[in-house]
Amino acid sequence: MTTPSTMRILTSILLLSITYLGTQAQGISFSYLIPKNGYLSAPVSPFSIRGLGIGNIVGIETGASLYNVPGLGMKDLDFQATEPLVGPHFAILVPADVFVKIPTGPLITKLFAGGFGWWNINTRPNSGNIDRALRTYEEWEVLNGNWTIDDRIGYGWLAGIEFQLALSDQLTLTTEASYLNGSSKTNISGSYTGGSSGTALTTKQLNDDGAILLEGLEISIGVIMNR
């Protein structure tokens, strides 16, 4: 679990990096994440800050998005689950990519690819979905568990396309779609009790190392303010 002091340090580093890189332009957008085996994640005010970087036609850029995450799926567990196993919680997405712009009059097409960091804040287990997944795995009729989650900062790669429509020399409208693929190492631990009709209740321990799945489509709509 990330401590408050760690959160302050990472946030300070992020803000300093953004200040250093934001020499050409900066943007703000509404960004929505549609994760695999998860629920739609919406932005938290002040939404997303993107387009901070160096370069015009070719360059590098970064930014940050604060998400309200209802739920995310997991992989690499000893049992199978198709429903989200963690959430709700907040999370910060920090991308870093290389881009190239293809001008076609007032409309610019931008292609980009790179990586991202994903920071879950106070991750919560979705106890109901974990219980149902284990009930299917054990082939029991009833099951009730008590769970804790311990996850780390996640990483992955991304690629996407953005369309920019210049309204003036200082203001540009943007629409962006990017595909993210990554994960965050995670441990589910706890105990559960259950069974079926005609059998005694059984209690078992679980200490399962897996990963929170950070895979899906991110859609952003916003503006860029050029300097």
Locus of tokens 């769970």: 147
Tens-digit pLDDT string for the chain (227 aa):
444 554 454 455 444 444 444 445 567 788 899 999 999 998 886 667 877 888 889 999 998 889 999 999 999 999 999 999 999 999 999 999 999 999 888 899 999 999 999 999 999 999 999 999 999 999 999 999 999 999 999 999 999 999 999 888 788 899 999 999 999 999 999 999 999 998 899 999 999 999 999 999 999 888 877 76
3-state secondary structure 42-69: EEEEEEEEEEEEEECCEEEEEEEEEEEE
CATH number at residue 114: 2.40.160.20
Any domain includes 176: yes
SS3 assignment, position 163: strand
* 3-class DSSP state of 218: strand
- 198 is a domain residue: no
Residue 119 within a domain: yes
Size of the chain in residues: 227
CB distance 66 to 90 below 8 Å: yes
The pLDDT value recorded for residue 23 is: 46
pTM of the predicted model, to two decimals? 0.82
Q: Report how many domains make up the chain.
A: 1
User: 95, 88, 96: which is closest to 41 by C-alpha?
Assistant: 88
User: What pLDDT shows up at residue 9?
Assistant: 45
Tokens of 84: 């989200």
| pLDDT for res 182 | 97
User: How far are the Cα atoms of 27, 101, 218 from residue 163, in angstroms, in the given order?
Assistant: 14, 9, 14
Q: Is residue 207 part of a domain?
A: no
Would you say 174 and 29 are in contact if contact means Cβ atoms under 8 Å apart? Answer: yes
Q: What is the pLDDT of residue 102?
A: 94
Is there a domain that residue 57 lies in? Answer: yes
Residue 143 lies in a domain: no
Is 99 a domain residue? yes
Query: DSSP secondary-structure letter at 78?
Result: S
In a domain, 23, yes or no: yes
Q: Which residues lie closer than 8 Å to 5 by C-beta, 6 or more apart?
A: none
pLDDT of residue 214: 93
Which helix (H) or strand (E) covers residue 107, if one does?
A: strand 107-121
For tokens 């284990």, what's the residue? 134
Structural domain boundaries enclosing 221 = 4-71+87-125+152-186+213-226
The whole-number pLDDT of residue 46 equals 60
Q: What is the pLDDT of residue 16?
A: 47
